[in-house]
Amino acid sequence: MTSSNKSIIEVNNLVTHYGDRQILKDINFSVEKGEIRVIMGGSGSGKSTLLNHMLALLTPTSGSIVIDDVDVVNANRKTLLKLRQKMGVAFQGGALFSSMTVGENIKLPLQHHTQLDEHTIDIMTRLKLELMNLAGFEDLMPSELSGGMLKRAGLARAVIMDPKLLFFDEPSAGLDPVTAVELDELILKLRDAMNMTIIVVTHELESAFKIADKITVLFDGEIVITGTVDEIKNSEDIRIQNMINRRARDEHLDADEYIKRLTTGKN
């Protein structure tokens, strides 16, 4: 392997399919320890697929994914289990279990994987709730929480074991601007204080530019560019420029065909 020994994530020649359809076409990138990497792309770019493969929820057609020196694709149960305890994942809707309270949800990994005393677990849970501005919410049920609160509760659960790696799926989606900014600050704080490596999958430009050390941009299943915020902003690739300037895709309009579509509904 040609990786520098600082890389905590190495993805090489990743190719994935969904049925017969190819989603990712030869993806290559690496992430260094303590880095905040934002993965961006429009819908259909394959960024969620990439995330799911890194989390070992899906198996690729070919290629390798190595996380913290573990070959995720070929690892046996036990090795994967140990790795997963060092990884936290914050899902889009929080993915909390509706039959338990918020507190019970957050405690779950601790109760399953550690022998810590109940008092310690309770205080740890409350520490994380405080960090997420959810103090006092531990006895509520998920159904009693708003979308933003659910996300934060999901994040609390993701970081309860102080993982080395944190994966964040669309953190800002559905949040009001103020909460989104607070979440961005939280991500930065978590990296600084806990030295976490953080992967964020998002389409929100402002957040990305604020928190990213590097951004990887996907288009149609391929990486267009991996670079710093400045490199992205100065990219000459038209797709990147469109994305940054929020221009709609340039479509050539055929007047006759357009009228035909409007009046007859036929293409």
Partner 1 sequence: MTFVQKTHLHYQLLALTGEVDLHNSPQVRKQLLDIVKSGNSVIVDFSALTYIDSSGIATLVEAYNLAKNKQLSLTIVGARGAPLQVMELTHLNKVFPMIDSLDEIKG
Partner 2 sequence: MLTVIKNKIEHLGDVGINLVESSGRLGVFLFNILARLWMYRFPLEETIKQVLFIGAKTVPLILISGLFTGMVIALQFYDTLIRFGSVDLLGAAVAMSLIRELGPVMAALMVIARVGSATCAEIGIMRNEQQFDALDCMAIDSYHYVMLPRLLAAIVSVPLLTAMFDTFGIGGGYIVGVLIHGVSDGAFLVGMADTIVWNDVWMGIVKSFLFGLVIMWICLAKGFYLHIEQKQSGAVGVSQATTQAVVLSAVLMLFVDYIVSSLML
Binding residues for partner 2, rule: CB under 8 A, are 52, 55-57, 80-81, 84-85, 87, 89, 91-93, 95-98, 108-109, 112-113, 154, 157
Tell the smallest beta-carbon distance from residue 9 to partner 2 (Å): 15
Number of residues that bind partner 1 (CB under 8 A): 21
Q: Which amino acid is at 102?
A: V
Q: Which stretch binds partner 1 (CB under 8 A): 40-48, 57-65, 66-74, 111-119?
A: 111-119
The burial class, CB within 10 Å (0-12 / 13-18 / 19+), for 250 is exposed
**Contact set for partner 1, span 123-162 (CB under 8 A):** 123-124, 127-128, 130-131, 160-162
138-148 exposure pattern, b = at least 16 Cβ within 10 A, e = fewer? beeebeebeeb
Yes or no: say if 244 and 232 are a contact pair by the CB < 8 Å rule: yes
Q: How far is the CB of 154 from partner 2 (least distance, A)?
A: 8
If the CB atoms of residues 98 and 245 are measured against partner 2, the closer one turns out to be: 98
Binding-site partner at residue 123 among partner 2, partner 1, none, CB < 5 to 8 Å by type: partner 1
189 binds, among partner 2, partner 1, none (CB under 5 to 8 A by kind): partner 1
Report the residue number, 166 or 212, with the smaller CB distance to partner 2.
166
The DSSP element (H or E) to which 244 belongs, if any, is helix 238-245
- Minimum Å gap between C-beta 35 and partner 1 is 17
Work out what residue 87 binds among partner 2, partner 1, none; the CB cut-off runs from 5 to 8 Å by kind: partner 2
Which 8-state DSSP code applies to residue 247? P
Nearest to residue 134, comparing CAs of 109, 158, 162, 156? 156
Smallest CA-to-CA distance from 127 within 119, 116, 135 is with 135
How far is Cα 37 from Cα 29, in angstroms, rounded to an integer?
Answer: 11
Report the residue number, 2 or 98, with the smaller CB distance to partner 2. 98
CB of 114 to partner 1, least distance (A): 5
Contacts of 55 (CB under 8 A, 6+ apart): 87, 89, 167
- Rounded to whole angstroms, the Cα distance separating 55 from 65 reads 10
Applying CB under 8 A, among 26, 185, 192, 206 the residue interacting with partner 1 is 192
Partner in contact with 91, chosen from partner 1, partner 2, none, beta carbon below 5 to 8 Å by kind = partner 2
Q: Could you tell me if 24 and 49 are in contact, meaning their C-beta atoms sit under 8 angstroms apart?
A: yes
- Interacting partner of 133 out of partner 1, partner 2, none (Cβ under 5 to 8 A depending on kind): none
State which amino acid sits at residue 239.
R
Phi-psi region of 221 (alpha: psi -120 to 50; beta: other; left: phi over 0): left
In the list partner 2, partner 1, none, the entry touching 48 (Cβ below 5 to 8 angstroms by class) is none
